[in-house]
Structure 1
Amino acid sequence: MPIINLQILEGRPESKVKSLISALTDATSEHLEVPKERVRVIVQEIPQSRWAVGGEIMQDRKN
């Protein structure tokens, strides 16, 4: 049973997260030749105050 553990920044629309889960499930099922029902996807949404890049907290970064 494949398990995909995905960590993303919180704040994305629910529809985008659902679409990504579906796409990951489809790709995993196809490439590993397992039924979709056997694929597990765990999405952890991390607050921007708890995610840093280059020592800078994401909520403090300017785009």
Structure 2
Amino acid sequence: MGVQEAPYSLRLGHEAMQKIRVLAAKDKRSINMQLCLAVETYLEQYEKEHGKIPVESEE
């Protein structure tokens, strides 16, 4: 996962949060880890369809 960024407060609707809870419990993950996996999966899929997302280097 790399270096952790500063915490970010995420606001989700009630139904979306309930669905995340169900998936996290099903896969024995924390809600945070389930959300991280969802974001990483989305980014991978986006890059497959649209190409690499350019970001500034941390060096």
Q: TM-score, normalised by structure 1?
A: 0.36
Q: Which has the higher helix share?
A: 2
Q: Which has the higher strand share?
A: 1
Q: TM-score, normalised by structure 2?
A: 0.39
Structure with greater Cα Rg? 1
Q: Which has the higher contact order (CA 8 A, sep 6+)?
A: 1
